[in-house]
Amino acid sequence: MTTASDAFDLTGKVAVVTGGSRGLGREMVRAFARHGADLVIASRKREACEALAREVEAETGRAALGVQCHVGHWSDCDALVERCYERFGRVDVLVNNAGMSPLYPSLAEVSEELFDKVMAVNLRGPFRLCALVGTRMAEGAGGSIINVSSIAAVQPTPLEVPYAAAKAGLNSLTVALARAFAPRVRVNCIMPGPFLTDISKAWTPEMLRGLARVVPLGRGGEAREIVGAALYLASAASSFTTGAVLKVDGGAAFAPA
């Protein structure tokens, strides 16, 4: 008989998390390790990845590798995948969590460079990593891919137009790849709402106060509250779930303003 704890067990699995050194990625890394997985932690800052890798190993005894990677660069994505397979010989869980949404003064002042950078980090990089890792998973023992989108994909604001477009593309990519890599690979998406991570430190007091009005649960999410969704989609608990976009937003999307 399979128990609930068995269904969420990741013992013997290898998980890769981009944007894994802070915020939601950091919480997913720690949760996966606590449930038995070895980790590859990737972000643009090598020192932060390596520091978290040491912390994970000390706390859980699981193997952890920190890798510097700018997912907006195609060659960095290729190099990350090679490092993963050189070190562990397999990838069972891939989480495309890295993202960016830079501010801009007006839509007319969005530069080509800014637009391309937002698309590269939020959509092109996840596509490349999914293509490389998903293909190997499909040819091997299978696996789970988790893309991290945003409710901006379905309820965009004028402050995040390129970002919203990229995340809408990521939602679509999730569904397409779930079909492309079936039946051995499951591809799903977490669509977070407002979370009180490092990025929220740049929010204005008005934005923070507005959460009580636009989020039915009356607040922003804590980073640890992403863990349940991540563990579900990474593990055998979601064995019949693919092509899904799971909203984790306190009810914010489609809620009346």
Active site residues: 163
Cα 210-216-221 angle, rounded to 5 deg: 75
How does DSSP assign 200-229, residue by residue? Answer: GGGS-HHHHHHHHHHSTTSSPBPGGGGHHH
133: region left, alpha or beta (phi > 0 left; psi from -120 to 50 alpha)? alpha
DSSP string, 56-82: HHHHH---EEEEE--TTSHHHHHHHHH
Is 192 in contact with 228 (CB distance < 8 Å)? Answer: no
Token representation of residue 161 = 């137009």
